[in-house]
């Protein structure tokens, strides 16, 4: 039986993925690294079934494919410090935005339950927009 992951475990696994410095990111490697923190080796399936972990994995995987594993080094410590400060500010801003979006989601989730909306109704596709050209009708006298 696979160990259920707590919120703290999920956060730790996400931190492992975000800090991954090896060229090759694999579920097996993440499971090995997570076993030291979680206490028991989680399965690939249990990690993949968690939406936040899966998103972090996919983002890191595409980041490695696009950027490669190399991180460019700045030419001086002053530039590096400025870059770190900028990135920390950006992280704080994104955390605030994420928190607001999660709060909005909880409101929507409650209201959809309150008014009897089902999950399949909420997940319906958006209607297709017909972008064909309209023909102007000329007015004849």
Total structural domains in the chain? 2
- Looking at the structure, do residues 12 and 36 belong to the same domain, yes or no? yes
Does 132 have pLDDT greater than 90?
no
Q: What is the pLDDT of residues 79-127, one digit of tens each?
A: 888 889 999 999 999 999 999 999 999 999 999 999 999 989 988 999 8
The set of long-range contacts for 33-42, using a CB threshold of 8 Å and a minimum separation of 24, is 34/9, 37/9, 37/12, 37/13, 38/3, 38/5, 38/9, 38/12, 38/13, 39/3, 40/3, 42/2, 42/3, 42/5, 42/9, 42/13
- Looking at the structure, do residues 110 and 98 belong to the same domain, yes or no? yes
- Looking at the structure, do residues 78 and 66 belong to the same domain, yes or no? no
Give me the domain span that covers residue 102. 73-118
Residue 138 lies in a domain: no
Collapsing DSSP to helix, strand or coil, 133 comes out as coil
Residue 127 lies in a domain: no
Whether pTM exceeds 0.85: no
Q: What is the pLDDT of residues 105-118, one digit of tens each?
A: 999 999 999 999 99
């Amino acid at each position: 039986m696979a160990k259920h992951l707590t919120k703290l475990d999920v956060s730790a696994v996400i931190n492992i993925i975000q800090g991954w410095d090896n060229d090759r990111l694999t579920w097996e490697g993440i499971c090995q690294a997570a076993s030291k923190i979680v206490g028991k080796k989680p399965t690939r399936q249990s990690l993949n079934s968690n939406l936040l972990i899966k998103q972090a994995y996919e983002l890191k995987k595409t980041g490695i494919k696009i950027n490669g594993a190399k991180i460019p080094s700045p030419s001086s410590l002053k530039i590096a410090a400025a870059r770190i400060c900028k990135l920390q500010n950006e992280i704080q801003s994104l955390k605030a935005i994420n928190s607001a979006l999660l709060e909005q989601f909880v409101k929507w989730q409650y209201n959809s339950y309150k008014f009897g909306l089902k999950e399949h109704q909420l997940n319906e596709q958006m209607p297709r927009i017909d972008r064909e050209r309209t023909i102007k009708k000329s007015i004849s006298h």
